[in-house]
Structures are given as structure tokens and as C-alpha cells.
Amino acid sequence: MAIGKWLLAGLMWGAAAHLTAAPEVRVEGLFKGAAVLKIDGQQVMLKKGRSHSSGVTLVDANAHRAIVEIDVQRHELALHMAMGGTYQQADVTQVVIRKNDNNQYKVNGSINGQPVHFLVDTGANTVAMNEIQARNLGLLYKMDGQESRAVTASGVVSTWVVTLNAVKVGEINVPNVRAVVIEGAYPQEVLLGMSYLEYVKIQEHNSVLMLEKNF
């Protein structure tokens, strides 16, 4: 009986070790000295010489391939190549934005289902837009919004705090987002501020901004 118990315990331990032994790694993006890897369904950016909690280490990377080390064995992977083990797919949604020639991150998205071109602004407390953009989106900001005043470069202007039904960038959809409508023609582009960005994980490396769903 005792032998049977030890044998059963050994089999269960071996099965558990087999399931967790080797992480699955897929190359999603390549840069000089860094790579975007999907490790067991979770997308992360690793710099050269850094390790992930799963035990995956990025030995080196360039625009053509990444060298990763797993359990003291090194593997060379090109873009979109994968290797690995057994895992349950995690629900990870991510958007990759490249910096433009003006050192800005701009991305297409939507507000309440209407297409919008955003300027990512981590310094803005909320999503912000001018009143022309608000009218084009069909927002009844003067009726539904909370009016206030603000000082801008153009002087004192009226503002209205509203709640947007949904703001979406890529597949990251955030409901009930606070926004500010500003009297006049400023800002020239809709600002994707922290009332949306607080719901995503932000990583920046080599002029690439990654937004990952965090809720």
C-alpha cells in the first residue's frame, strides 16, 4: 500500500513537472538589443541580457533574429517563429504604436463607435478634444456635460466634462471614459489621456510604444 502511494505521488509530480517544464516562446517583434516575445501567452519586451520570470533569457537580438536561452540551452528564432511547451492561452490584448517623425505616438481608434485619430498624451489627465471634434462625434456636451473654466494659451475658455460610452484602440475597448471638451479649436487632435491609459499597461522601447490590456 505504501509503495502504491509513493508511486502515485511520483507520477503526479512528474506530470506536473512536465506541464510546467518548458515555456512556449514566440517572437512578435525584433529590434537591436531587444525583442518582443510572447511567453506562455503573455507579451513582454525583453532587453539583451534580461530574463523573464519563466526562466527565458534574451541573449541577443537584432532586426533579423533573437537568441533566447531556456534551461541553459540557446535557441535562435526569427520573427514570428515559436518554440515551446504546454500552457493555457492567456487573454492578452496589445497595441503596438511606432513614433512618427515628430516624436509623437499617434494611433487610430474610435469614440462611441466613431473613428478617431488619437495623439497619445500621458501628460493629459483625461481624453481631451475641441468642441468641433465633439460635435462631429455627436456629443451633446453642452447638455450632458459639467461646465467649467480653464486657462489656456488663448486665454480663459469654457470646458465640459463628459463621459464617453466607449473608447477603443485596437482591440482594447474601455467603457465609461471621462473626457473634456474644450471651447475653440484646441487641441487640434484628440488626446488619448490617462482616463483611458490608466486601464492599460504601457511599455516604451526604441521608439515603439506598447499598450496592453490591464483589466
Mean pLDDT, residues 161-170 taken together = 97
CB 96 within 8 A of CB 105: no
**Residues, the chain:** 215
Helix H or strand E encompassing 196: helix 194-197
The two counts, helices (H) then strands (E), for the chain are 4, 17
Which CATH architecture describes the domain 95-213?
Beta Barrel (2.40)
> Which pLDDT belongs to residue 180?
98
What are the tens digits of pLDDT across the range 83-135? 776 544 444 578 989 999 999 999 999 999 999 999 999 999 999 999 999 99
Provide the β-strand partners of residue 181. 129, 160
Distance between CA atoms of residues 38 and 34, nearest Å: 13
What are the tens digits of pLDDT across the range 122-147? 999 999 999 999 999 999 999 999 99
Q: Report yes or no on whether pTM surpasses 0.85.
A: no
> Which pLDDT belongs to residue 90?
45
- The three-state (H, E, C) secondary structure of 61-74, written as one string: ECCCEEEEEECCEE
Helix H or strand E encompassing 82: strand 82-83
Cα 192 to its chain centre, rounded Å, is 13
> Which pLDDT belongs to residue 21?
57
**What string of DSSP letters covers 130-172?**
EHHHHHHTT--HHHHSEEEEEEETTEEEEEEEEEEEEEEETTE
Those residues with Cβ within 8 angstroms of residue 1's Cβ, 6 or more apart along the chain or in another chain? none
pLDDT band (50, 70, 90) for residue 152? confident
> Which pLDDT belongs to residue 19?
44
> Which pLDDT belongs to residue 78?
82
CB 133 within 8 A of CB 192: no
Distance between CA atoms of residues 76 and 46, nearest Å: 15
Per-domain boundaries in the chain: 2-89, 95-213
Mean pLDDT, residues 155-176 taken together = 95
Mean pLDDT, residues 176-190 taken together = 96
- CA distances in angstroms from 104 to 91, 174, 186, 197, listed in the order given: 29, 22, 17, 16
pLDDT band (50, 70, 90) for residue 1? very low
Average predicted confidence (pLDDT) for the chain: 86
CB 51 within 8 A of CB 60: no
> Which pLDDT belongs to residue 94?
83
